Structure 1
Amino acid sequence: MSEEPFYQKQHDMLLFLVDHYNLAMVDSAGRVAWNIPAIIELLRHSLQVWEPLYHLLFITTHISSCGTQFIDHKVSNVDRHRNLFMQVNEMFLITSYSKKTGITDRDSCTPGFMPKEIALCVLKMLGGDLCTAEAILASIVYGADAEHLYRT
């Protein structure tokens, strides 16, 4: 995400959300006053955007029909292991679990490739600064620990 089109637009989404949804105001002394109820409402609405996207990932990647295995996937790339990868123009999830794991006692990797339309949507959600904006807003409302949770 350090390349175009995302690099030059860092925090554009946050600035848009703050302005469009009146999440903050600046007084005459230059102090910022956050509209906490509006931020909480916005975070609730953003969850309504993520939920159908997770359902689409579950349905279209054909990795596992078991919901508990799908929940183990990490969609964001932070300092932890992740399952979402981009290679050239293809996005895919990798799971290390398969039925052979119990037999061979070795994990095998199974890729689940996404349709281009869904991959583009996921890329825009993650790389288009929505995750970062959510994390910053969550830290304002809920504290620094919440920011870390929103980034993972």
Structure 2
Amino acid sequence: MVVDLSKFATWLVLSERKDPKVMISKDYTSFTVGTQTMSLGKPREGLQELINQVWKRYRAIIQSEPVVKGDLQAIDDSSNDLRGYSFLDEKLFCERRWTMFYRLVQQYDLANVDSHGILCWDVPQVKLLLEKCERLWDCMLHLLFITLGISTQVAQFVRLQVRNGNQQSNLQFWNGEMYFSTRDGKTSSTSGKDSCIPSFLPSQVASILLELIGGGLR
């Protein structure tokens, strides 16, 4: 009954005719909402600037060239549903994690061994590095939020995971492309079954994300 009422309400709304408020230019370079006009080139420029900003912050942290270099030919055993599994545990990425860790420890003098042979961490330096990483990921999450194309509901966005847990990891690779699989949608509550909605990432964004999580900075 609830579904029928929902369909009826939708029919009533869609059957009401109104003058269009959004107009697209003939050359498809801009659109107008009411009296405000926006060029489609502006969001593209802003998106490219955001991508450049992520790379800039990343290089400032590692002070070297990228590790993964945009190679999306990752080994991803999507049939492995064991809890804790991640493609990041494959040999291609596992060794890079420790290489990056050792590099950052030496580069930022994060630790030293005292006269008694005890390893001591330089807490202020560690916090400084973590603050830089936080600013980097702030920018990266903003980029993902724009380009993923999934629901803007925070509940769905925070469910993005790269390791199997109660559910299988929803970061997948297919035919050289990276995508997130959203398992819940508007029909989940009515049908009782989770839907599968793939969201493919643009190649530039996918390369950055793979560099961050596959290169060891995670």
Label 1:80 to 1:21 Cα distance change in 2 as closer, same or farther (>3 A).
farther
TM-score (norm 1): 0.74
Unaligned regions of 5+ residues in structure 2, if any? 1-87
* Residue 94 in structure 1 maps to residue 181 in structure 2: yes
- Determine the structure 2 residue equivalent to 1:45: 132
Question: What does 1:87-126 correspond to in 2, within 5 Å?
Answer: 87-126=174-213
State the Cα distance separating 1:35 from its structure 2 match: 0.3
* Residue 3 in structure 1 maps to residue 76 in structure 2: no
TM-score (norm 2): 0.53
How well do the aligned residues superpose, as a CA RMSD in angstroms?
2.0
Q: Deviations over 1:93-128 (max 9, x none)?
A: 111111122232221110100011111111111111
State the Cα distance separating 1:54 from its structure 2 match: 1.4
1: CA distance, partners of 2:165 / 2:155: 23
* Equivalent position amino acid for 2:208 in 1: C
Unaligned regions of 5+ residues in structure 1, if any? 132-152
- Determine the structure 2 residue equivalent to 1:14: 101
Label 1:89 to 1:33 Cα distance change in 2 as closer, same or farther (>3 A).
same
8 Å CA contact 2:178–2:201 kept in 1: the answer is: yes
Q: Deviations over 1:124-144 (max 9, x none)?
A: 11111112xxxxxxxxxxxxx
- Determine the structure 2 residue equivalent to 1:62: 149
- Determine the structure 2 residue equivalent to 1:34: 121
Label 1:80 to 1:99 Cα distance change in 2 as closer, same or farther (>3 A).
closer
Q: Which has the larger radius of gyration?
A: 2
- Determine the structure 2 residue equivalent to 1:137: none
State the Cα distance separating 1:78 from its structure 2 match: 5.0
Question: For 1:11, what is the secondary structure of its paired residue?
Answer: helix
- Determine the structure 1 residue equivalent to 2:163: 77
Q: What is the count of residue pairs matched by the alignment? A: 129
Q: Deviations over 1:67-86 (max 9, x none)?
A: 33212222x32555322112
2: CA distance, partners of 1:65 / 1:114: 16
Q: Percent identity?
A: 33
